[in-house]
Amino acid sequence: MTDKPLKETARTTMEWGEVEKYIKQAANAFEAYRLCPKSRRANFLRQIAREIGAIRADLVETSHRETHLPEGRLNGEIDRTINQINLFAAVLEEGSWVNAIIDTANPQRTPVPKPDIRQMQLPIGPVCVFGASNFPFAFSVAGGDTISALAAGCPVLYKAHSAHPETSVLVSGCIERAAGQMNMPNGVFAALVVTREVSIQVITHPSVTAVAFTGSFSGGKALYDAAVRRPVPIPVYAEMGSINPVFLLPDRLKHHADATAAGLVASNTMGAGQFCTNPGLMVMLQSPETEQFLAAYGKQLAEQTCHTMLTPGIYDAYSAGIKHLKSIGELSILAEGKTDKLLSDTAVPIAFRVRGTDFLRNSALREEYFGPASIHVIAEDNAELLEIANMLDGQLTAGVWCTDDDIESFSPLFRILERKAGRLMINGAPTGVEVCHAMVHGGPFPATTDARSTSVGTQAIYRFTRPVSFQNYPEKLLPVELRGDNGSDIWRKVDGELTKKSL
| Among 6, 414, 480, 503, contact with its own copies (rule: CB under 8 A) | 414
- Residues numbered 263 to 322 that lie near its own copies (CB under 8 A) are none
Concerning whether 36 is annotated as a catalytic residue, the answer is: no
Closer to its own copies by Cβ: residue 266 or 343:
266
CA–CA distance, 237 with 203 (Å, rounded to integer): 12
Q: With 0-12 CB in 10 A as exposed, 13-18 as middle and 19+ as buried, what is 262?
A: middle
In the shown chain, the binding pattern of residues 205 to 224 toward its own copies, with x for contact by CB under 8 A and - for none, equals -------------------x
Min CB(68)–its own copies separation in Å:
21
Task: Tell whether residue 427 is a contact of its own copies (CB under 8 A).
Answer: yes
Helices 56-67, 38-54: inter-axial angle, 10-degree rounding: 70
502 binds its own copies per the rule CB under 8 A:
no
Applying the rule CB under 8 A, the residues between 14 and 43 that interact with its own copies are 31, 35
Nearest alpha carbon to residue 238 among 483, 448, 68: 448
Among residues 459, 461, 481, 488, the one that binds its own copies under rule CB under 8 A: 459
Interface with its own copies (CB under 8 A), residue from 10, 192, 270, 440 = 440
CA separation for the pair 353, 332 (Å, rounded): 5
Q: Among residues 57 and 112, whose Cβ is nearest to its own copies?
A: 112
**Least CB distance from residue 57 to its own copies, whole Å?**
19
Rounded to 5°, angle at Cα 307 from 359 and 266: 55
187 neighbors 25 (Cβ within 8 angstroms): yes
276 classed as catalytic: yes
In the complex, the smallest distance separating the C-beta of residue 308 from its own copies, rounded to whole angstroms, is 24
In terms of C-beta density within 10 A (0-12 exposed, 13-18 middle, 19 or more buried), how is residue 340 classed? exposed
Residue numbers 61-100 binding its own copies by CB under 8 A: 76, 94, 96
Which alpha helices (DSSP H) does 208-283 contain, by range? 217-228, 250-269
Residues 233 to 252: which contact its own copies by CB under 8 A?
Answer: 233, 235
> Is-contact 447 422, C-beta < 8 A?
yes
From the list 66, 77, 239, 368, the catalytic residue is 239
Q: What is the DSSP letter of 272?
A: G
Task: Return d(Cα 13, Cα 159) in angstroms, integer.
Answer: 11
The span from the CA of 127 to the CA of 33, in Å, is 13
SS (H, E, C) 336-351: ECCCCCCCCCECCCEE
Residue from 10, 29, 48, 124 in contact with its own copies (CB under 8 A): 124
x/- track of binding to its own copies for residues 373-412 (CB under 8 A)? ---------------------x---------x--x-----
276, 368, 384, 402: the active-site residue: 276
Closer by beta carbon to its own copies, 340 or else 404: 404
Give the residue with the Cβ less far from its own copies, 298 or 422: 422
Instruction: Give yes or no for residue 445 binding its own copies (CB under 8 A).
Output: yes
Residues tagged active-site: 239, 276
